[in-house]
Every structure is written in structure tokens, then in C-alpha cells.
Structure 1
Amino acid sequence: MFAKNKPTKRIDLPENHWVELQHLSKGTKDVLKSSVTKIFNKFDSKMMDGKMDDVEFSPDFVEKIQEIEYQKLAAAIRAWSAEEEVTVENIKELDDEPYELILKEVNNMNELSEEEEKN
């Protein structure tokens, strides 16, 4: 019933590190979706007005999307082998390889099944 009660998944990372991942709750997913929606709202309005030439993906846009991704990982990591606390700032400090491994697994764990997509 609660995301925190679902089984966690431990994945091994390079250099004998590991993370324990948990499923994201509906509330966390809703907050993340809301953040993404706010970013795309201004682009959607320009598309509706036929002003696609005015749409630019600025560095600020990319930064906001990345920040949402960091928040998602921070919420999904229940524990890790690093001595530091799991925070958005510490997620930003990860190397590319462990970051991508964690992100891929978090996305896989939180995908909607075909049944959930239909509803």
C-alpha cells in the first residue's frame, strides 16, 4: 500500500560502493511531474500560438530539468555506502557511471506497468 513498504533494491556500483533504492511514492512522483509541467507550460503556450520559432531550450531550462532528476534520485536512494548523507547536493557530486546506473534503475523501478498506463 505504501511505497516505503515495497521491497528495496540494492545495486552494486564501481569501487565497491552500493546504493539501496526504494520506490517513489505517489506524492513524490506528483511533485516531480508538477515541476516538469511548470517548465513545459511556457513552451506549450508558444506552440499553441504557433510561435515554435520562439521556443529556445536555454541553459536555464536544462538546469531545471537536471535539478528535478537530482531530486528524484535523492528521494529514491534509501541508503548508500558513501559516508555523506543522501542530499541533492551530494547526488550532484556523483561520477557519471554511478549516476547513470542509479538513474536507470530508479526509472525502471518506477515505470508504470501496462495495466497502470491503461488506467
Structure 2
Amino acid sequence: MALAQRRPPGLKAVVNVAGGLISAIAWRRAWMRSSRPSRHWPWKDTLPQLWVYAGNDDLFPPSLVDGMRAAALDRGGDVRLIALPDVSPRGHAILQNGRARFVWLREMDTSLRA
């Protein structure tokens, strides 16, 4: 997410698997107090993005991901969210779960082809 924010030359799309910005917690606090949460989103972006999160991600829980996505969409973002069910042993370790990998790899392939 931080690399996407810097927009390196040639970047065509973003695949975010259980990722986020270091400032996500601070952003969430501002978002929860604001009547216009999108103004707190750190950048305006039109790059296609695929976000993959598990329901039991302890660092980026669904409520935070939904808020980040809503703010990104409000700022012109093109974000497709794949919300997986709970993943063992913990949701943030989604890359370590073989069954989850089959789901998000298929979705990533479809998104990149588009």
C-alpha cells in the first residue's frame, strides 16, 4: 500500500493481500470521528486495486477494511475487495493458508487479466 501511494513509474495495478498503511490505526481514529471520512484517506487513486482480507485479520479487521475501502472509493479509487472467511491459524497470515491461497490467486489472476 505504501509503494502504491508513491506511484512508481510503470505501476499498472495493486494487489493487496492483508496489507495496509502504517497510519491505518490513526486513520481509523480520524475516520470514526469524521462526517467525511474520505478526506482522511491519504491519497486519491485511480489504479485498479484488488484487496484480499480474512474475516479474522487481527491487524486489519473487517470494519477497518470496509472503512478504508469506502474512503478509497469516495476519493475515486478502483478497489475490488475479496473478503475471505476466517483463516487459520490467524487471518493476517493469509499467505500461509493453502486453501485461502486457491481463492485469492484465482481472483488475482482474473483481476490482472482485466
Per the TM superposition, whether the score is higher than 0.5 is no
> Of Structure 1 and Structure 2, which has the larger fraction of its residues in helix?
1
Q: TM-score, normalised by structure 1?
A: 0.27
> Of Structure 1 and Structure 2, which has the larger fraction of its residues in strand?
2
Q: TM-score, normalised by structure 2?
A: 0.27
Larger Rg: 1
